[in-house]
Structure 1
């Protein structure tokens, strides 16, 4: 059967992740053929540096694919089948503020968790909604596959504010952890496993993992995680391979401390921020956070390589790396385009999949994906421990979206108070006031802010 060739728009064409996505798409043309790729970004200069290199890569490796980079919404969104969105409103300069402002108050600064994630979410909501509106105006039959962060807040915003939009919110963090699980087990691929999982984005647990013959793989993974976290056997003995940054090695190792809280399950690594926030604050450098690391290394290396390719007009010896985790998005696009019924972890409205949980919550669970989109798989009742944690975190996400929609200082303050990473209401207000000042021009005006006063002692 000849597969229909697809037209793709990458929204966030100036991202340092875009070249890796292009390389990944080229490696999968046999199962996901493409006739056209477009880039869209509101920063023309930044996008041009990435686009000039990607155009050369495409000309050399797949000249049959039409390529276009633009800042014009109509040009970008007309005649597309899929919008792959990974925007960062405020770029890394604002991520730096998200990380450093909380640390002033002894609170962890992180781009998707706690105050930093709330700050980033307040910037991201409007940007993602704008993309949806463009897509529905110019290509109403298209699907948006969104992996713009913070995914949990963005997903709640799209559910509440664009309820009929053809958008699927995804995250590759579980994919990365499952890849590590497959290495722990000695399997060729994470796709050799069938998983059951539930939670919120960056806030979930695996409950069952089996091989294709139905054999239970959980005991062996648990044994390893209890001692080493998700640090792989190769990493433990120092064998050469993909270089892992120290901060990520800490994250993978920290899972061994999260695991005992519920040894019937296996945890998502991001739970460390909620269960051990003081440990993360102690390790953080308030003057040099993850945003600084990215700007000093990834940003410089990717743009430098793209400029080199553009200058010499060939990508034969390109040092740009394929974004393997991004292959997840190809699986999702294929499932919709060709009705493959792929089983995938996606962020979807609960609607009874977790039978004792808020039906309007955006939960991360296994789904079967076909041409009509995702069909969530029932996961049954969840235990009181997880239910309590998730209810608190869902309240945070819903209050953030309500604060954005209503321009409510009060609700955003409440969201910060409810976050497990924030110690009290006084610190929450101090954080909020600082974040408002830092995000001028990015957040909607919070109209009731003048009514709130708390003694600062």
Structure 2
């Protein structure tokens, strides 16, 4: 059993590896391979990964660190993809360029998300082609690479038969917050209903051991005026972004405060569902631009905390032999993808939230829409749980976003400036076609090294 991690130099790699290693028996994993194009970065992360496997857990799993596609994919059973094309330098531009034009600056939503998507489409297709060429015929690609909505649409269009499942851990992070807010320790007993597109969806039901928890979480949010556990609200330094302590949940620092505060603002107006936090960027565009700092965005926050902590921790280990486990994140992000692999391998029919072709699952959405819905996972892949017709408000928002993403993918594949401009103009975070064109032209210049030529 071989698991290959594409984007092996990611700061999330150590946590994912730990999740895999802790499930060694269920996965029957013999070898983990790290594959990245950035040798310097991956070599450093590999030092920590080797410590986890050989010193911390002493689990006997072989580690291979490689920069060669054939070696990375040869006979692999699972490929965990977590690429960040352009790394944080490009994420910073994704966020700051739209903000310069008075629009939301976010890495996966709005114009920044469209820019990031155009950088990621063809590298993801390359991952699929390499897996087809070298991996076992029964391989599965489990993709975390963002923006998953754009990536999944491109894969559907260009490689419809690929054995790939696109997933996102943000709904899980939201459930983590719900569990902590309601003091639920065994969150695995939470069952939720959800529908939407990736980073664009709604929880319609949350149950814990058969009890409907939606009234309780709604009351909690209305009382606290935020979706954060009361313990977090006491740590004002962390919430203000002044704490560099990695023990604080990474989704509760700095600008994340406004995201969780935004859940309250949305539910004041639309109380029937619990929104995915990313809906803030579409429903509160003006407000999020107003409290954003165009010179210091979340990209900077991450570089100053998670990135810095990890690589400083590795340098300290190399210098002193002392390891500080708080420098890397282990938890839901890694657990989610490792548990999904177990469900596929062992045919458990466990319930997961996945991004998949609609095919009637949401009756009043297009058949070929890539939607995010619950599914039972077995060896043949997702068995989607059918939904009812969704309300017109949500359907209208989803159709606008879906068509925006479809136009972007078509424009990227065809090299069509016109279609990409239409995608930017259609995005709900953009106020006019003039602004859409200005942002697109600036992002085109910034992405010359990564985007296909648009004519």
TM-score range for the pair, normalised by the shorter chain length: over 0.9
Aligned-partner Cα distance in 2 for 1:96–1:169: 24
Deviation at 1:317, TM superposition (A): 6.5
Structure 1 residues 373, 109: CA separation in 2 closer, same or farther (over 3 Å shift)?
same
> The residue matched to 2:123 in structure 1 has which SS?
helix
Deviation at 1:289, TM superposition (A): 1.2
Indicate whether 1:32 and 2:27 are aligned: yes
Aligned-partner Cα distance in 2 for 1:264–1:298: 35
Counterpart for residue 167 of structure 1: 164
Counterpart for residue 347 of structure 1: 355
Deviation at 1:295, TM superposition (A): 1.7
Counterpart for residue 111 of structure 1: 107
Aligned-partner Cα distance in 2 for 1:257–1:317: 36
1:47 to 29, 42, 45: 42
> The residue matched to 1:34 in structure 2 has which SS?
coil
Indicate whether 1:59 and 2:54 are aligned: yes
Q: Deviations over 1:201-260 (max 9, x none)?
A: 111111112223x32211111112233231113224559973531311221121011113
1:57·1:314 contact (CA, 8 Å) conserved in 2? no
Aligned-partner Cα distance in 1 for 2:329–2:444: 37
Counterpart for residue 450 of structure 1: none
Moved more, 309-318 or 90-99: 309-318
1:84 to 66, 80, 84: 80
2:177·2:229 contact (CA, 8 Å) conserved in 1? yes
Deviation at 1:125, TM superposition (A): 0.5
Q: Deviations over 1:379-404 (max 9, x none)?
A: 11000000000000000110111011
Indicate whether 1:130 and 2:136 are aligned: no
> The residue matched to 2:27 in structure 1 has which SS?
coil
Counterpart for residue 401 of structure 2: 393
Structure 2 gaps of 5+ residues are 239-246
2:255 to 244, 247, 255: 247
Deviation at 1:262, TM superposition (A): 2.6
Aligned-partner Cα distance in 2 for 1:382–1:341: 25
Deviation at 1:316, TM superposition (A): 8.1
1:25-424 to 2 correspondences below 5 Å: 25-60=20-55, 61-62=57-58, 64-139=60-135, 140-212=137-209, 214-227=210-223, 228-238=225-235, 242=248, 244-312=252-320, 315=323, 319-424=327-432
2:12·2:329 contact (CA, 8 Å) conserved in 1? no
1:57·1:315 contact (CA, 8 Å) conserved in 2? no
1:421-436 to 2 correspondences below 5 Å: 421-436=429-444
Deviation at 1:184, TM superposition (A): 2.6
> The residue matched to 1:444 in structure 2 has which SS?
coil
Aligned-partner Cα distance in 2 for 1:317–1:119: 34
Deviation at 1:313, TM superposition (A): 5.4
Q: Deviations over 1:252-295 (max 9, x none)?
A: 12101111343221111111100111111111111111111222
Deviation at 1:59, TM superposition (A): 1.7
Aligned-partner Cα distance in 1 for 2:403–2:432: 16
Deviation at 1:331, TM superposition (A): 1.3
Structure 1 residues 222, 160: CA separation in 2 closer, same or farther (over 3 Å shift)?
same
Aligned-partner Cα distance in 2 for 1:320–1:194: 28
Aligned-partner Cα distance in 2 for 1:97–1:316: 32
Q: Deviations over 1:322-359 (max 9, x none)?
A: 24332011110000010111101111111101011111
Aligned-partner Cα distance in 2 for 1:187–1:57: 29
Aligned-partner Cα distance in 2 for 1:314–1:242: 21
Deviation at 1:33, TM superposition (A): 3.5
Q: How many equivalent residue pairs?
A: 441
Structure 1 residues 235, 52: CA separation in 2 closer, same or farther (over 3 Å shift)?
closer
Structure 1 gaps of 5+ residues are 1-5, 448-457
The TM-score normalised by the length of structure 1 is 0.93
Aligned-partner Cα distance in 1 for 2:402–2:222: 28
The TM-score normalised by the length of structure 2 is 0.93
What do you get for the CA RMSD once the two structures are aligned? 1.8
2:313·2:324 contact (CA, 8 Å) conserved in 1? no
2:12·2:328 contact (CA, 8 Å) conserved in 1? no
